């Protein structure tokens, strides 16, 4: 049986950061196992910007953030096996961890390891978890599945959409479907507030006049072969449907964005002690499970809102696992769990006049007013950039455009791209229209210019991913 000092399951941001940190701490015999066709995890389909403000001090798209870590893995020559699914985990009588995996080349095979790092991420709750009555017609997707279809496979799941759940994934998909030409009828949220970031309420809903129905839920889905519409009703404080408030909304697609669950079937097979409420393994501050030498990090441990926290936590797991391999213990005062800071969510009735500064990770909540003379008064900012941001937002708002263009000559049909700088908000649709005509040939590298002076804005469009080179994307 092949043996490695350390095996990491999952090549998303958590797996890659853990590998880098373990290598830098002195363990070079590492193997990453990833079931997808590329490293990067969920970030490959999150083509929007908003990643990396803490780690890289700049705003990146998901694929760009993933590419930075992929480069580290390549530069350190850390081996990884793609399209390799781990199907079972165990521990033998000597305390060695046994990983059972399979891929097309080798079939089913086993690997022994001194230490394991679990970095399998999470999965979405589906329609079934909501018990929405109705037929099982086509057109019902989880938001992440729709994101995969649009951003990676280049397919449109539908044209007329209702989104259930106003967390960040739901909000981001509302904008994405709109930019791709769909009509998003509404976002329905059962709570009296959105779980998404304030900036996403503004940039994903308000920019496109998409209604947010708070304290509402979908009570039924109509349509036998294909979704034809949904019933939407108001709920009271106990989430009970208020009779007489039901309305019918025609649509051909329903996207569910109703929460994420850590991916822990393998952890259960291993026999690790679980926190049943969170569907996650119990760990100490050192991120080690109840089974010695097995560590967990990232979304498999708890769902993180911000990928920078995933990377930080995973680096701690990598260092701790390296200490375990080299010394048999983690040592005193190890770094561990990285919790999300309180989220800057939108509060109806309170935040209408407020702006969230997006110039740095502080995310200051600004109160900004435009005077009759055109002057702007701003408070709540921790630095002068807040004034600049609020003034621009009230007088001439600008946005970064992120989308995909058609790609030829690679194993993926789409290439994620972004505007190299912000552009006037009213030009967003023009830029998208220009880009809908663009077809690019691989190979392409991150940062390559795809379109110059998009829609006469003076701003170029650049690639956010490598494509074609070394078989990527």
Ligand X SMILES: Cc1cc2nc3c(=O)[nH]c(=O)nc-3n(C[C@H](O)[C@H](O)[C@H](O)COP(=O)(O)OP(=O)(O)OC[C@H]3O[C@@H](n4cnc5c(N)ncnc54)[C@H](O)[C@@H]3O)c2cc1C
Interaction site with ligand X (CB under 6 A): 9-15, 33-36, 41-43, 46, 48, 50-51, 85-86, 119-121, 144, 147, 168-169, 172, 263, 266, 298-300, 304, 306-308, 310
Q: How far is the CB of 318 from ligand X (least distance, A)?
A: 12
| The token pair that represents 376 in the structure block | 């702007």
For residue 194, the minimal CB distance to ligand X (Å) is 15
Closest distance to ligand X from the beta carbon of 172 (Å): 6
The tally of CA atoms less than 13 A away on the side-chain side of residue 226 is 9
Shortest gap between Cβ of 45 and ligand X (angstroms)? 7
The residue length of the chain stands at 473
Contacts by 459-462, CB closer than 8 A, 24 or more apart: 459/419, 459/420, 459/421, 459/422, 459/423, 460/419, 460/420, 461/401, 461/417, 461/418, 461/419, 461/420, 461/431, 461/435, 462/417, 462/418, 462/419, 462/420
Which residues are within 8 A (CB) of 27 and not within 5 positions of it... i.e. 6 or more apart?
5, 6, 321, 322, 325, 326
Is the Cβ of residue 113 or residue 233 nearer to ligand X in the bound state?
Answer: 113
Instruction: For the chain, count helices (H), then strands (E).
Output: 9, 31
Nearest approach, Cβ of 417 to ligand X (angstroms)?
Answer: 17
> Minimum distance between the CB of residue 35 and ligand X, rounded to whole angstroms?
4
SS3 138: strand
| Separation CA 20–CA 178 (nearest Å) | 38
Helix (H) or strand (E) run with residue 200 in it: helix 198-200
Tell me the closest approach of the beta carbon of residue 425 to ligand X, in angstroms. Answer: 19
d(CA 156, CA 138): 13
Nearer Cβ to ligand X, position 35 or 97?
35
Residue-wise DSSP of 221-246: EE-SSB--EEEEEEB-TT--B-TT--
């Amino acid at each position: 049986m092949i043996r490695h000092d350390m095996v990491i399951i999952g090549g998303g941001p958590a797996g890659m950061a853990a590998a880098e940190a373990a290598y830098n701490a002195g363990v070079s015999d590492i193997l990453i196992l990833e079931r997808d066709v590329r490293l990067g995890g969920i970030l490959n389909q999150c083509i929007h910007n908003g990643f990396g403000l803490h780690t890289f001090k700049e705003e990146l798209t998901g694929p760009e953030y993933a590419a930075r870590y992929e480069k580290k893995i390549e530069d350190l020559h850390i081996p990884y096996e793609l399209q390799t699914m781990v199907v079972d985990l165990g521990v033998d009588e000597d305390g060695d961890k046994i990983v059972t995996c399979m891929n097309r080349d080798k079939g089913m095979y086993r690997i022994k390891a001194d230490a394991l790092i679990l970095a399998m991420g999470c999965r979405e709750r589906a329609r079934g978890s909501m018990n929405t009555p109705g037929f099982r017609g086509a057109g019902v997707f989880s938001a992440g599945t729709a994101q995969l279809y649009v951003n990676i496979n280049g397919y449109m799941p539908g044209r007329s959409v209702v989104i259930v759940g106003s967390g960040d994934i739901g909000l981001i998909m509302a904008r994405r479907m709109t930019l791709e030409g769909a009509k998003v009828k509404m976002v329905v949220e059962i709570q009296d507030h959105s779980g998404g970031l304030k900036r996403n309420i503004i940039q994903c809903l308000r920019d496109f006049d998409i209604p947010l129905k708070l304290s509402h839920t979908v009570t039924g889905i109509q349509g036998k072969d294909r979704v034809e519409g949904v019933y939407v009703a108001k709920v009271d404080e106990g989430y009970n449907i208020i009779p007489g408030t039901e309305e019918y909304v025609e649509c051909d697609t329903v996207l569910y964005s109703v929460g994420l669950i850590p991916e822990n079937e393998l952890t259960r097979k291993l026999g690790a002690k679980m926190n049943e409420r969170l569907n996650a393994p119990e760990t100490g501050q050192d991120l080690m499970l109840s089974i010695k030498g097995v560590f967990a990090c990232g979304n498999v441990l708890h769902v993180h809102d911000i990928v920078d926290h995933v990377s930080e936590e995973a680096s701690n797991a990598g260092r701790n696992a390296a200490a375990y391999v080299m010394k048999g213990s983690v040592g005193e005062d190890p770094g561990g769990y990285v919790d999300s800071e309180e989220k800057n969510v939108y509060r109806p009735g309170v935040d209408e006049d407020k702006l969230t500064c997006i110039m740095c990770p502080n995310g200051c909540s600004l109160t900004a007013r435009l005077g009759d003379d055109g002057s702007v008064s701003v408070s709540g900012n921790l630095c002068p950039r807040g004034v600049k941001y609020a003034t621009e937002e009230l007088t001439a708002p600008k946005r970064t455009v992120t989308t995909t263009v058609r790609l030829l000559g690679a194993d993926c049909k789409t290439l994620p791209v972004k505007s190299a700088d912000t552009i006037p908000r009213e030009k967003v649709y023009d830029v998208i229209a220009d880009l809908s005509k663009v077809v690019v040939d691989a190979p392409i590298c991150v940062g390559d210019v795809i379109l110059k002076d998009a829609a006469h804005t003076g701003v170029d469009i650049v690639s956010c991913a490598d494509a074609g080179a070394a078989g990527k994307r």
